[in-house]
Amino acid sequence: MYNKPLPVPDADTKPFWNGCREGRLLVQCCTACGARRLPPERFCPHCHSADSTWQPVSGRGRIYSWIVVRHPVPDDVYGGDVPYVVALIDLAEGVRIASNLVACDVDAVTADMLVEVVFEAVTETVTLPKFRPV
């Protein structure tokens, strides 16, 4: 049974997680000023408009920063996963996302490494967007 933290979608984030379940990475986009934003929220922090749409993005980006988790917390949850990589990824469309880098030696990660999204269905209802080297 999957025992790691699961997202609890709310009024603002539900479209994002629904998109992941359908294999699409969606980013919120302000209808009024066009600014893309992640994490999702009701009001545009640039122009305060409450109108937005969800746009599919390429799923491609570059590693902005990363960590290698070697000490698992909690150990009974992550003990079998260490070492693992968490990265901040700058998507080509101009927003930043946090995720895991998979299918990559943890010691081979480099800044600006090109990556692409892969979807991992971790439960019947939750699919997480993860990234792998291109």
Contact 79, 87 (CB under 8 A): no
Examine residue 35 and tell whether it contacts another protein (CB under 8 A). no
- The size of the interface with another protein (CB under 8 A), counted in residues, is 41
Q: Could you give the maximum distance between any two Cα atoms of the chain, in Å?
A: 47
Minimum gap (Å) between residue 8 Cβ and another protein: 5
- What amino acid is encoded at 90 in this protein? D
At 83, list the tokens.
């070492």
Examine residue 6 and tell whether it contacts another protein (CB under 8 A). yes
The Cα–Cα gap between 42 and 124 comes to: 27
Site residues for another protein per CB under 8 A: 3-10, 13, 17, 37-39, 45, 64-71, 73-74, 77-78, 81, 84, 86, 88, 95-100, 111, 122, 126, 128, 130
